[in-house]
């Protein structure tokens, strides 16, 4: 293991040598005869702790500390001071010095202090590391945009968060439904409880039922052991049912009963279970239409939408575009180590004129790929994806049904080509459920 390196700063040659010698058993040491030379040593070497005299000609201890404070990170500093200047040492501590020792120096006590200082420093670094990790793993809770409709959504989300009411979130794909769900859960009374998400379109009917409600051993072939479902796992927290419009009728019944009585049975089970779970569901389907068609239960619909939040598509809140573009630009230039601080007016107007069928997710992907493609420090028309430059009118004249289906079909075909027909991957990339993808493929006979 690498030994700790201590930098001893003192104008007195004798002191430097004595201290070096006294610490040599336990540490590697380096020396400097004033603040300026200490800074030079620090720049070229990996120093773990600085032990410095307060009074030195040239740059004194306090001035050294002030210079250190300007650096992004510095080792901890312990000052050595005469009895007469303890006040200055205290002042140094206010400036961020770790501690001070008074002359004559007791080496045993100095070593103890050094160990304690290193230990504290280690904890501080760990703390910074953990905080960063938490931030990385914690979902982003800031909806960007200043349009009145988005402001309304933010307010509503905050307001329902204080309750445990059942919430239904409606909106097109990529509009931010999951973000709104995150905001509600993490601001709710059950924020510290479990937060379980299920995408109803990701499972076949039988599997979805056992995923949600669990099963008993032997309930079906392959059920070799009993298993808890997501409702049980979410006890005391939030269950997010994504793409609720894809939920098969048999499961809709079970969910309705849960919403009415808070009870259910595992698949193949006889025991009635009761859990305390807040339900948030989301859909990009028109559930009212589905109710009319008879594919979604009307009673369930009303139970789910105790509070309804409608997230409007991006094309209906174009005022949000400049802020969103700015934010994504910053995010992706950081991520890809680029230096781009502006998009040209031409690009901005193309962005404003485009219909954004994939909404914020598509905008985000668009900015990321543009950042990657950009050569200079400005994002211009040469770096943006080609589809942004298609004139809306040209496309509209090509298809009977207008621009959106045309683009959707084109995008799906491109993604399927890229994944060599791997539909699971394609659905992931497109951000839609597997079943939705199958339906579209069928519809267009791809
Ligand atoms: N207002 C916003 N500000 C910043 N980022 C946003 C905003 N809205 C959405 N996003 C981002 O866009 C992406 C899509 O959002 P999200 O997954 O919440 O959409 P969704 O409505 O659940 O989509 P889908 O219907 O495809 O499941 C996410 O990466 C999210 O962080
Ligand atoms: Mg979603």
SS (H, E, C) the chain: CCCCEEEEECCCHHHHHHHHHHHCCCCEEEEECCHHHHHHHHHHCCCCEEEEECCCCCCCHHHHHHHHHCCCCCCCEEEEECHHHHHHHHHHHHCCCCEEEECCCCHHHHHHHHHHHHHHHHHHHHHHHHHHHHHHHCCCCCCCCCCHHHHHHHHHHHHHHCCCCCEEEEECCCCCHHHHHHHHHHCCCCCCCCEEEEEHHHCCHHHHHHHHHCECCCCCCCCCCCECCHHHHCCCEEEEEECHHHCCHHHHHHHHHHHHHCEEECECCCCEEECCEEEEEEECCCHHHHHHHCCCCHHHHHHHCCEEEEECCHHHCHHHHHHHHHHHHHHHHHHCCCCCCEECHHHHHHHHHCCCCCHHHHHHHHHHHHHHHCCCCEECHHHCCHHHHCCHHHHHHHCCCCHHHHHHHHHHHHHHHHCCCCHHHHHHHHCCCHHHHHHHHHHCCC
C-alpha angle with apex 70: 66 to 71, nearest 5 degrees?
A: 120
Note the pLDDT of residue 397.
45
- Cα 251 to averaged position of ligand 1 atoms, centre (Å): 27
Q: Render pLDDT for 267-312 as a digit per residue (tens, 0 to 9).
A: 999 999 999 999 999 999 999 999 999 999 999 999 999 999 999 9
CATH architecture type of domain 148-312: 3-Layer(aba) Sandwich (3.40)
Q: Is the pLDDT of residue 395 over 50?
A: no
Note the pLDDT of residue 393.
45
Note the pLDDT of residue 140.
78
Q: Render pLDDT for 18-45 as a digit per residue (tens, 0 to 9).
A: 999 999 999 999 999 999 999 999 999 9
Atom of ligand 1 nearest to the CA of 140: 31
- For the Cβ of 364 lying below 6 angstroms from any atom of ligand 1, the answer is yes
- CA gap 381, 379 in Å, rounded: 7
Q: Is the pLDDT of residue 53 over 90?
A: yes
Residue 82 banded pLDDT, cuts 50, 70, 90: confident
- For the Cβ of 154 lying below 6 angstroms from any atom of ligand 1, the answer is no
Q: Is the pLDDT of residue 232 over 50?
A: yes
CATH number of 317-443: 1.10.8.60
Q: Which residue has the higher pLDDT, 206 or 318?
A: 318
Residue 401 banded pLDDT, cuts 50, 70, 90: low
Q: Whole-number mean pLDDT of the chain?
A: 91
- For the Cβ of 314 lying below 6 angstroms from any atom of ligand 1, the answer is no
Residue 387 banded pLDDT, cuts 50, 70, 90: confident
- For the Cβ of 178 lying below 6 angstroms from any atom of ligand 1, the answer is yes
- Cα 174 to averaged position of ligand 2 atoms, centre (Å): 7
- CA gap 53, 183 in Å, rounded: 52
Atom of ligand 1 nearest to the CA of 311: 21
- For the Cβ of 144 lying below 6 angstroms from any atom of ligand 1, the answer is yes
Q: For ligand 1, atom 16, which residue shows the shortest CA distance?
A: 176
> Given ligand 1 and candidates 142, 167, 176, 313, which is best to mutate, with the most ligand atoms within 8 Å of its CB?
176
What phi and psi values does residue 326 have, to the nearest 5 degrees?
-55, -50
Note the pLDDT of residue 103.
87
Q: Is the pLDDT of residue 73 over 70?
A: yes
Q: Is the pLDDT of residue 334 over 60?
A: yes
- For the Cβ of 431 lying below 6 angstroms from any atom of ligand 1, the answer is yes
- For the Cβ of 278 lying below 6 angstroms from any atom of ligand 1, the answer is no
> Given ligand 1 and candidates 151, 155, 177, 179, which is best to mutate, with the most ligand atoms within 8 Å of its CB?
179
- Cα 141 to averaged position of ligand 1 atoms, centre (Å): 11
Lowest-confidence pick of 73-77, 120-124, 135-139, 392-396: 392-396
- CA gap 68, 60 in Å, rounded: 12
Phi-psi region of 176 (alpha: psi -120 to 50; beta: other; left: phi over 0): left
- For the Cβ of 361 lying below 6 angstroms from any atom of ligand 1, the answer is yes
User: Where do the domains of the chain lie?
Assistant: 5-136, 148-312, 317-443
- Cα 177 to averaged position of ligand 1 atoms, centre (Å): 6
Note the pLDDT of residue 3.
87
- Cα 238 to averaged position of ligand 1 atoms, centre (Å): 19
Note the pLDDT of residue 391.
57
Instruction: Say whether 317-443 and 148-312 share the same fold.
Output: no
- Cα 427 to averaged position of ligand 1 atoms, centre (Å): 16
CATH architecture type of domain 5-136: 3-Layer(aba) Sandwich (3.40)
Note the pLDDT of residue 7.
97
Q: What is the mean pLDDT of residues 201-221?
A: 92
- Cα 180 to averaged position of ligand 1 atoms, centre (Å): 9
Residue 399 banded pLDDT, cuts 50, 70, 90: very low
- Cα 46 to averaged position of ligand 2 atoms, centre (Å): 47
Atom of ligand 1 nearest to the CA of 179: 18
Q: Is the pLDDT of residue 171 over 80?
A: yes
Ligand nearest to the CA of 314: 1
Note the pLDDT of residue 332.
93
- For the Cβ of 321 lying below 6 angstroms from any atom of ligand 1, the answer is no
- CA gap 339, 376 in Å, rounded: 8
Q: What is the mean pLDDT of residues 118-130?
A: 90
- Cα 207 to averaged position of ligand 1 atoms, centre (Å): 27
Residue list, CB under 5 A from ion ligand 2: 178
Atom of ligand 1 nearest to the CA of 320: 1
């Amino acid at each position: 293991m690498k030994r700790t390196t201590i930098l001893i700063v003192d104008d007195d040659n004798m002191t430097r040598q004595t201290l070096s010698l006294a610490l040599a058993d336990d540490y590697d040491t380096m020396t400097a005869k004033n603040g300026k030379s200490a800074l030079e040593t620090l720049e070229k070497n990996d120093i773990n702790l600085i032990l410095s005299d307060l009074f030195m000609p040239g740059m004194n201890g306090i001035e050294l500390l002030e210079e250190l404070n300007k650096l992004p990170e510095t080792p901890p500093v312990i000052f050595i001071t005469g009895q007469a200047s303890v006040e200055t040492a205290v002042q140094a501590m206010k400036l961020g010095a770790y501690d001070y020792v008074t002359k004559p120096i007791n080496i045993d006590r100095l070593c103890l202090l050094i160990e304690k200082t290193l230990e504290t420093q280690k904890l501080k670094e760990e703390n910074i590391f953990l905080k960063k990790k938490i931030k990385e793993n914690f979902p982003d809770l800031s909806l960007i945009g200043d349009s009145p409709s988005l402001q309304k959504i933010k307010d509503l989300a905050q307001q329902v968060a204080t309750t445990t009411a059942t919430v239904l979130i409606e909106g097109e794909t990529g509009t931010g439904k999951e973000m709104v769900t995150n905001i509600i859960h993490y601001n709710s009374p059950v924020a510290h409880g479990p937060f379980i998400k299920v995408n109803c379109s990701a499972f076949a009917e039988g599997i979805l039922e056992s995923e949600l409600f669990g099963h008993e051993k032997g309930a079906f072939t392959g059920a070799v052991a009993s298993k808890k479902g997501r409702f049980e796992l979410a006890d005391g927290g939030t269950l997010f049912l994504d793409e609720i419009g894809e939920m098969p009728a048999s499961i809709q019944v079970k969910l309705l009963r849960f919403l009415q009585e808070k009870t259910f049975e595992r698949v193949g089970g006889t025991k009635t279970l009761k859990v305390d779970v807040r339900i948030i569901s989301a859909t990009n389907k028109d559930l009212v239409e589905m109710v009319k068609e008879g594919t979604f239960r009307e009673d369930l619909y009303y139970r789910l939408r105790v509070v309804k939040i409608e997230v409007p598509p991006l094309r209906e809140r174009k005022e949000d575009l400049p802020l969103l573009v700015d934010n994504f630009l910053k995010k992706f230039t950081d991520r890809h180590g680029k230096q781009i601080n502006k998009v040209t007016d031409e690009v901005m107007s193309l962005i404003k004129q485009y219909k954004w069928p994939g909404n914020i997710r598509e905008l985000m992907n668009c900015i990321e790929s543009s950042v990657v493609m950009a050569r200079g420090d400005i994002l211009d028309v040469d770096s943006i994806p080609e589809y942004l430059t298609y004139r809306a009118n040209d496309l509209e004249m090509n298809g009977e049904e207008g621009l959106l289906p045309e683009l959707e079909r084109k995008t799906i075909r491109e993604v399927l080509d890229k994944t060599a027909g791997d539909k699971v991957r394609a659905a992931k990339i497109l951000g839609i459920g597997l079943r939705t993808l199958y339906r579209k493929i069928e519809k267009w006979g791809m």
